[in-house]
Amino acid sequence: MPLNEVATRLDLTGRKEGRDTMWRNDRFAINVTGNKFYDHKNSHGGTGAVSLVMHVRGCTFREAVGWLTGQQHEIDRDRQHHSFFPQAATAADADADGQRRPFAELFAEKARKSEAAWVAARNYLTRTRGISQHLADRLYHEGKIFANDHKPNTAVVFLHHDADGQPLGCSLRGTYDPKPVFNGQGEQINKPFKSCLGSKTDAWFTIGDLRAAREIVVVESPVDALSYATLTPSSRQVVIVSVSGNFIPEKLLHCVHERNRDGGCLLTVALDNDEAGDAGHRRAVDMIHEQRLNVSVTRERSKGKDWNEDLQRLRLNQKQSGVHLW
């Protein structure tokens, strides 16, 4: 399916810019050239319709294929009638009218808590990813992380809370990492299961209380947040926030601005140590200047690509030297 047709059905608005087409909404600015695309807002590119759907909808490979299959059926039907009417998405997070289903409904279907599965999820976090056992247990008892009841492979659920502590979304991360399989373009097509339900622009996975923060450290994934907290245990009023990507939402910047009215709060951008992370930092600085927000921002980098890579390297060094710190 042509990417421009896919973009239309993803409810993006297109405009011709030279020989290419730019597709936009409030979250994306995607340039399409033939079978390739690049999202300038999120510094992410790819090839093919499946990759585009996975990026925009934040879904898995299987969900993207299913969505495209349903859309192709609608396109064929419309072409038989010599007309084109954009159809509603048939993905699991949309209803029959194309409206996004309520978070509570999606949560009950995909993120229902399983006490029995927590052992497997805890082992994944602490043994596979190197997270502090004490930290994982504390957040579990606080209700911020838990395991869902999906079988055969459970997922860790990371709740997203807004600035007032209300749960409005969640991130899911599978506990099984398959052996990589690549397509002809060298892209891995069977990536570990990751999903995001509800909001990630108005609510985020946080370690700490945003309302009492003196420093807010922004990282990409929830696992990065847990890794950063494991690497930098501190008694300071530091809150670690995962934004589930490399785009720092405007609402989070306003939270920092409001905290500065109550005594000062530093924003530390600790996104991945790569081009996309640097772009996320620049976008945040630009937004702060454009909106004249009272926010002091600094950039902190992991030594490797991300904070879990740093933690894994430290764990390996500890194992080789016979030292265990956590």
Read off the pLDDT band of 14 (50, 70, 90).
confident
What local confidence, expressed as pLDDT, does residue 323 receive?
66
- Structure tokens that stand for 170 in this block: 């969640």
Residue scoring higher pLDDT (163 or 15): 163
76 pLDDT more than 70? no
pTM of the model: 0.70
Percent of the chain with pLDDT over 90: 46
The per-residue pLDDT for range 213-239, each reduced to its tens digit, is 999 999 999 999 999 999 998 766 899
What local confidence, expressed as pLDDT, does residue 233 receive?
80
> DSSP characters for 69-121?
HHHHHHHHHHHHTT---PPPP-STTB-TTSPBPPHHHHHHHH--B-STTHHHH
Query: Average pLDDT of 127-146?
Result: 96
Prior bond of 222 cis (ω within 30°): no
What local confidence, expressed as pLDDT, does residue 292 receive?
92
The per-residue pLDDT for range 21-74, each reduced to its tens digit, is 889 887 888 988 888 888 888 878 888 888 899 899 888 888 888 888 765 444
* CATH 3.90.580 intervals, the chain: 3-101
Question: Which SS3 state, helix, strand or coil, does residue 196 take?
Answer: strand
Number of residues that make up the chain: 326
Radius of gyration (Cα) for the chain, nearest Å? 21
78 pLDDT more than 70? no
* CATH 3.40.1360.10 intervals, the chain: 108-321
Read off the pLDDT band of 189 (50, 70, 90).
low
CATH for the stretch 3-101: 3.90.580
Read off the pLDDT band of 179 (50, 70, 90).
confident
- The fold for domain 108-321 equals Dna Topoisomerase Vi A Subunit; Chain: A, domain 2 (3.40.1360)
- Structure tokens that stand for 153 in this block: 């492979």
